[in-house]
Structure 1
């Protein structure tokens, strides 16, 4: 047991930040525009699908706690090439995803304070700086900050729903499916972004004090919290805003304004910043650890390997991740295309990570165990997510090609590294936190 590791409440907060994230900021309105009140069925479907996915990754994390996360599970199940592919898909999905999340948060600030695209971009950049600095200080600080941010975030969302519900009108639910029942799957496809994140904390399972006990506890608590909050916010958006929901760029702000007046949009901007910070904080922490593990195992340059062991701070990998995130932000701001392309590229990569991770679980988890049963159900969920993602899986194909080419080039100039997965979950030295 590690006395300085993450606790179950801190792990729950990291999960809430990673999964709840920016989906609740804008997607309830987009889903309502697509399917009307029937979009609630899409939300419910994805809440149900997320439960076996979360349970599968929790079982893997508790059984194989390592900073490599899904990449480690793929190596144990299918070998080095599969590990490299899934590692690259995750590592290279975080920068565009972080840039998109930061832009979502910045848009709320611009909506409340004015300033348009300039304020949006500036806020996004400041969020990236804040998250980078927090993670550079170490995962223990990140976990404590995340716990506080998650508590404030949940409070904001609960308040937004409660103050708005007195303005609800049951007439807003008629007709229930104005665009037909076939619009529900289309709405669900939009909402995939909202439920990406269950794999992110697998890279931090080695940081828990008691992984076998605390990871499942954190996962169970997070599934319940996230499911209730998503459904509550989506219900309130339709019940209170009605047809106006389709045009609401900041639905959370409109909910607060309905109950507290127009100035409540500033509170909504604060909530949006907390949501965004929580998402980025969890993903930066997980990606930094993953990059170090990939460097350790030869799937990325060995220069990144420092910080792969539990308790160490992977500052080199963090710096690369932060640099790529700023690059992604700069490209879309300069091109004026907004966050949508970043969202779609990120979703394609993460669905691929899910597919490989669940397939690995079917090989690694003991037959007859609860985790194995969850993995069987999760595979059905993943196949559905793959169908929803469609053409945007091409980005994951490009990343896969890059990973395999890198492995081939590396094997031509140096011997394959000896896996040190077992050592990565050992207790760190006294001075490891300062490395």
Structure 2
């Protein structure tokens, strides 16, 4: 595949993948689960994101393929494992996209003073726009995404700057009201805050020079994300206190001390920018992952067809249909399918993808530092996945379906490589080399015996080139 994006657009895509709409509600969810000790969960997740980013950047440099983690695990552990990982990611994206769109829609509707029912329409509009933008490919829509990410960074930095002066030490006590179990539960939901590196791995083949650009993109993205997440987490605890765990719109409350005429409009804009960035990157990654799975026989092969301007439109259409079905369930039965459930389901599936991707990094990469970091991160990610509660059955169900497909649709053996027109010429050259070596030995023997007038060395036969 010909590369289409550079460092600036790549950084925007990576930041958009990791710094998604989850940041709108995750600080509140973590605060509700663990109290001020949620900061420990934040610290753990941000720390573990360093080796995760390094491992996936290194794998992307070595295997720049649209299959992403499915390609890495296929190389490391075989097609059955690669199929399961691909299905996990492909099934997770519609869940996470609907959850993110609803979170963004809820924020925007609240900030603008609209009725709660407007949140669903906003979510549908943002989600539909993200799918439409993906039809134009990364080269065109990446420019829009770059502008959105720049605006998002400026807005979130403004929120942190406004809220920090109001941080009070008294709001950090009691520090751990829910104990270690609460911290673990907070870490499980916060994994959404650091996932996205596995989605970005599907876009490695889109870079013009992956080996040179990916390290720069990963480092810049990680720095931006850590700075903004740390600031928002500290402000949520230190400014809102216990109220931070009871609200669905903590970002709006953070702006309240300095609320002015345009504060709510800024909050709504921030929510929509966060939502749009993550939706665009994950949808792009999932569409390419589905096409790669079709190419490899892990999904129907027609998913790999109908690619226009580098966009696999059939795979994109399947993703859109899945998101529509999940969205209809969330709007039709909000008591059963709420944002928290969708976020946690998305988190446990993506954690499973990340876990296997890190295991592939340990097996495939040669750098001892990256392999050690990947192994340590895998332990943390495995523990996070274990805190998923009953939802840990979800990766098992999806993997079972993937393996059933794999066994019923075995990948055909690769066809034999046809003989190329250059092969006869290569054989002729080998004959010439052997003949010249024999002539050299004859010449050496004659000179050693003092017989310079012996019969001349037979000339090299002409070889017809085909």
Query: TM-score normalized by structure 1?
Result: 0.90
Contact 1:10 1:143 (C-alpha < 8 Å) held by counterparts: yes
Residue 442 of structure 2: aligned partner: none
Contact 1:348 1:394 (C-alpha < 8 Å) held by counterparts: no
Deviation at residue 349 of structure 1 after TM alignment: 1.1
Uncovered stretches (5+) of structure 1, i.e. residues with no partner: 420-435
SS state of the match for residue 109, structure 2? helix
CA change 1:385–1:177 in 2 (3 A) is: closer
Deviation at residue 182 of structure 1 after TM alignment: 4.7
Residue 379 of structure 1: aligned partner: 378
What are the residue-to-residue correspondences of 1:19-418 with 2, within 5 Å? 19-180=18-179, 182-261=181-260, 263-306=262-305, 312-337=310-335, 338-366=338-366, 368-411=367-410, 416=412, 418=414
Q: Which moved more, 1:354-363 or 1:300-309?
A: 300-309
Contact 1:19 1:195 (C-alpha < 8 Å) held by counterparts: yes
Deviation at residue 417 of structure 1 after TM alignment: 6.1
Contact 2:359 2:375 (C-alpha < 8 Å) held by counterparts: no
Q: Which moved more, 1:283-292 or 1:113-122?
A: 113-122
Q: Which runs of 4 or more aligned residues in structure 1 lie more than 6 Å from their structure 2 counterparts after TM superposition?
A: none
Query: TM-score normalized by structure 2?
Result: 0.84
Larger Rg: 2
Q: Which moved more, 1:203-212 or 1:113-122?
A: 113-122
CA distance, structure 2, for counterparts of residue 188 and residue 262 of structure 1: 36
CA distance, structure 2, for counterparts of residue 100 and residue 340 of structure 1: 8
Contact 1:31 1:190 (C-alpha < 8 Å) held by counterparts: yes
Contact 2:184 2:384 (C-alpha < 8 Å) held by counterparts: no
Q: Which moved more, 1:290-299 or 1:233-242?
A: 233-242
Deviation at residue 340 of structure 1 after TM alignment: 2.2
Deviation at residue 269 of structure 1 after TM alignment: 1.3
Deviation at residue 351 of structure 1 after TM alignment: 1.2
Residues 123-173 of structure 1: CA deviation (Å, up to 9, x unaligned): 111011110111100121232222111111111111011112233323222
Residues 189-221 of structure 1: CA deviation (Å, up to 9, x unaligned): 221222221100111100001111111211111
Residues 277-324 of structure 1: CA deviation (Å, up to 9, x unaligned): 111111000000001111111111111112679x61111111111111
Deviation at residue 385 of structure 1 after TM alignment: 2.0
Deviation at residue 360 of structure 1 after TM alignment: 1.2
Alpha-carbon RMSD across the aligned residues, in angstroms, is 2.0
Deviation at residue 22 of structure 1 after TM alignment: 1.8
Contact 1:289 1:308 (C-alpha < 8 Å) held by counterparts: no
Contact 1:29 1:245 (C-alpha < 8 Å) held by counterparts: yes
CA distance, structure 2, for counterparts of residue 182 and residue 375 of structure 1: 25
Uncovered stretches (5+) of structure 2, i.e. residues with no partner: 416-466
Residues 36-84 of structure 1: CA deviation (Å, up to 9, x unaligned): 2222111111100111111111110011100000111111111111111
Question: Across the two proteins, how many residue pairs are aligned to each other?
Answer: 413
SS state of the match for residue 5, structure 2? coil
